[in-house]
Chains A and B, each alone.
Chain A
């Protein structure tokens, strides 16, 4: 992310847009990266001066600084003095100067020259080494291996994030995403200390209203930074729209972004399935030759503070819709929480398939309203079909 002073945005009416780089500005990324690799083994102060020279009088100076900020965040610096520890050196030098008595430039030179003899160094070198641990005297030892394109992607993402610093709340619309994407979306919201309320349903998608605990009392920008940190997680969802409401100079502005934007996620997209168990089940369902189709767009149940997102939906051409949740091998604590969710979600049209490795019995599920099936090893699609077809009673909604 970037500090506010390096952010760009454009305002049109009550809309605000992040200003992504123009084609002709891309060249700075390459120049900054080249400068960094040229300044390996030189001080941060020198590098900073070179960066300032690079920006020169150009009105693009904030772009240069933005690239430098992001690249330097991923770079490594070290002390130049090797074995000579600046803090110990200072203790010795200041101690000797104090012992000698009387502060003055002549006295200082004597102290340093005297000491330089013992260290077998030039007095000037000692003079420099005194503050080698200051950031500007650190030496650049490792440069991030970004391509210019990667740095440009990071820059544009950072601009998009930066607008959110002043966000009061945001409204997300998501539809036609696989269950794992929804789960991760809500996990990330929660991880960043944000709160959400979910509305909508399967057919038209979901609206997720995002703010923080104290937003209830007054509009606050307190959670803007957290929303900015959350944005990269949103980019890993397939289909979404975002509208954030920002407060700037006492004015409310709308900031929109969607999955069509040129922004690229930093990490590769996650695997399509959360587990092999699910993946195998999906593949084998296809071979079953039943009119029931397996869908990955599922119902999301807002449990007030958390959500329940089942693994699959099963749709029949006659309109019947059933959900299925597969419980493989989990940690007991996770099982306990999952059971809690199943009880609270109370979906009568939800089939719960439980692995016998789970150490859970029918008793554990007595207050879960839908059918529960137990399986050994892999979940057999026929076992599920057997629940679906002979029992017309579960065809709900």
Chain B
């Protein structure tokens, strides 16, 4: 039996992935689920074999979508039709009158000079979002903005609506699935749908771009044909070293400013005040007992938590026996006691009393503590669980001064505007450069020459003290942070067990002195 290979004419099939057929023999390029398919060519035009491979499954040549801008130049004259890009030229005139700061203009110029591909590193609060807006106006292409959190989605949404009142702004994620020529998507949703959307945008803006190189999210860059790409972040470095991949996924770092380079200019002056609270005798007893139980298991199994490997072995062994399970539970108990002590809530009451009427943002590491603060003091609470509209209402209320305090778990970490907060309180936290800089950034927004205060509430004689120590070392040695007498004895022989805290995606890492 023979098959007539010359007349391959693919049609839309039941499942809906295949596109309508092409004219016989016509050379065409089209987008197929995150790749580019070159059909109707018997042999690959010269110079393209570095990008395209023959795909016997469909009898055509295929290339990764992300190389579109590299191949379209040499390929254009060879093609009958170019059906790959579905994005349009769009004249985006900005209705907002905003004069960029010099550093924002410099950042844009550096990105343009790199032919619209690159990463801009600016401290939180230095107006990265405006750089993104300028890039949109310059590229004049349909654009997709990627954000790690719903708060950031909200912030971009508000900004784009104000900037482009005539454009529909699409949302992807947080319960929405409405792609538009200008769309804001969470990394999660975009990674899920990029196979179908990778041809619809000419510009990708990755806010908090350090999230992108993870195995799951990187597909957003790989499966898109967008020629223009902009990454924005305060902290490009990742614990796993994958930040090296940003160059190929987005582009090189084209502009970088550190907080201290902008401090006098844009960021307000700030001071850090550690507040130590004691565990109650009962808590202390429970804490010691939990540590003891864990440590005896570690000793019996010759484990040390000072390395990632040690921690992994602990996790593995703990799953295998009753003793191991108990030891892991004891480890978690100890952590919980150190983090959520009622003493910290008492300290918070004291801070409230010391700053009546001052705009205060309270940061907690876990949702449970955030809700506890909210219920105890009747303060609006923001977590990743808070519904979008309510979140916006609370933030608006805080901006207008209806509420003078707001409590949040990690959601405010990245780039969300909370203007005018003059008091920050960190109730619990783990050592992580990114987290600390970003948390600081929240309350260090440009204000009227005010001096912001960041309280750090630490339970005494728990390992949190060492976490706090590590966190504080680099940002500014000149600050009178106050001496912290970290008592390492109780927390035994693991002076660098930060790895135990960092199994979250992206991996946090301890600060290194600069």
Q: Considering the chains assembled together, what is the distance between the CA atoms of A98 and B402 in angstroms?
A: 7
Checking A57, A108, A195, A349 against B378 with a beta-carbon cut-off of 8 angstroms, the contacting residue is: A108
- Cβ-defined contact, B371 with A94, below 8 A: no
A367 CB to closest chain B CB (Å) equals 9
- Are B387's CB and A130's CB within 8 A? no
- Is there contact, CB below 8 Å, between B14 and A190? yes
User: A18-26, A35-43, A209-217, A274-282: which one contacts chain B?
Assistant: A209-217
| B429 CB within 8 Å of chain A | no
In contact, A337 and B12 (Cβ under 8 angstroms): yes
Contact of A84 with B by CB under 8 A: no
Is the Cβ of B375 less than 8 Å from the Cβ of A131?
yes
The segment out of A148-156, A235-243, A256-264, A299-307 that lies at the interface is A299-307
A290 within 8 A of B: no
Contact A214 B377 (CB under 8 A): no
B357 cross-chain contacts in A, Cβ below 8 A = 101-102
Q: Does A346 have its Cβ within 8 Å of any Cβ on chain B? A: yes
Bound-state Cα–Cα, A346 to B1, Å: 8
Closest to B362 in A: A103
A93 adjacent to chain B (CB < 8 Å): yes
Q: Which residues of A contact B379 (CB under 8 A)?
A: 94, 97, 103
Question: Counting chain A CB atoms within 10 Å of each CB, which of B13, B21, B326 scores highest?
Answer: B13
B223 touches A305 (CB 8 A): no
Query: Chain B contact residues (Cβ within 8 angstroms of A): what range?
Result: 35 or more
B375 — which chain A residues lie within 8 A by C-beta?
127, 130-131
Which listed segment binds B: A58-66, A312-320, A354-362, A374-382? A58-66
Say whether B296 faces chain A, with CB atoms less than 8 Å apart. no
Decide if B371 touches A134 in the complex (CB within 8 Å). yes
The verdict on A193 contacting B33 (CB below 8 Å), with A59-B321, A97-B379, A344-B9 known, is yes
CB < 8 Å: which of A130, A131, A193, A303 contacts B195? A193
Tell me whether A102 and B356 are in contact (CB under 8 A): yes
| A213 and B352 within 8 A (CB) | no
- B325–A112 contact, CB under 8 A? no
Q: List the one stretch of B57-65, B162-170, B247-255, B441-449 in contact with chain A.
A: B57-65
Q: Are B378 and A94 in contact (CB under 8 A)?
A: yes
**Across the interface, do A304 and B58 meet the contact criterion of CB distance under 8 Å?**
yes
B353 contacts which of A104, A108, A304 (Cβ < 8 Å)?
Answer: A104
Q: Decide if A214 touches B402 in the complex (CB within 8 Å).
A: no
**B35 proximal to A (CB < 8 A):** yes
Q: Is the CB of A343 within 8 A of B7?
A: yes
Question: Are the C-beta atoms of A344 and B319 separated by less than 8 Å?
Answer: no
Query: Does B138 make an interface contact (CB < 8 A)?
Result: no
CA distance A130 to B56 in the complex (A): 60
Q: Is the CB–CB distance between A217 and B53 below 8 Å?
A: yes
A59-B320, A131-B371 given as contacts; is B62 within 8 A of A108 (CB)? Answer: no
Contacts of A347 in B (CB 8 A): 1
Q: With an 8 A cutoff between CB atoms, is B49 at the interface?
A: no
Contact partners of B380 in chain A: CB under 8 A = 90, 94
Contacts A94-B379, A193-B17, A346-B3 given; indicate if A135 touches B385 (C-beta within 8 A).
yes
Q: Which of A51-88 contact B (CB under 8 A)?
A: 57-59, 61-62, 87
Contacting pair B15 A214 (CB below 8 A)? no
A190 touches B15 (CB 8 A): yes
B17 touches A337 (CB 8 A): no
Q: Min CB distance, A94 to chain B, in Å?
A: 5
In-complex Cβ contact of B33 among A94, A97, A213, A397 (8 A):
A213
Complex interface: chain A residues within 8 A of B371 (CB): 131, 134
Query: Are B35 and A397 closer than 8 Å at their CB atoms?
Result: no
- Chain B, residues 275-311, CB within 8 Å of chain A (1/0): the string is 0000000000000000000000000000000000000
Taking the complex as formed, is B11 at the interface, i.e. its CB lies under 8 A from any CB of chain A?
Answer: yes
Check if A301 sits within 8 Å of B3, measured CB to CB. yes
Extra contacts besides A98-B402, A337-B12, A344-B8 (5): CB < 8 Å: A102-B353, A105-B377, A190-B18, A214-B223, A344-B9
Q: Write the residues of chain A forming the contact surface with B, with a CB cutoff of 8 angstroms.
A: 57-59, 61-62, 87, 90-91, 93-98, 101-105, 107-108, 111-112, 127, 130-131, 134-135, 187, 190-191, 193, 195-197, 212-214, 216-217, 221-222, 299, 301, 303-306, 336-337, 340, 343-349, 396-397
Q: List 21 A-B contacts (CB under 8 A).
A: A57-B326, A58-B322, A59-B324, A59-B325, A94-B379, A97-B377, A103-B349, A104-B353, A107-B378, A112-B378, A134-B371, A187-B15, A190-B18, A195-B57, A217-B64, A222-B219, A301-B3, A304-B57, A340-B11, A345-B3, A396-B1
A-B interface, 7 closest residue pairs, ranked by CB to CB distance from nearest: A97-B378, A190-B15, A57-B322, A103-B352, A191-B15, A213-B33, A213-B35
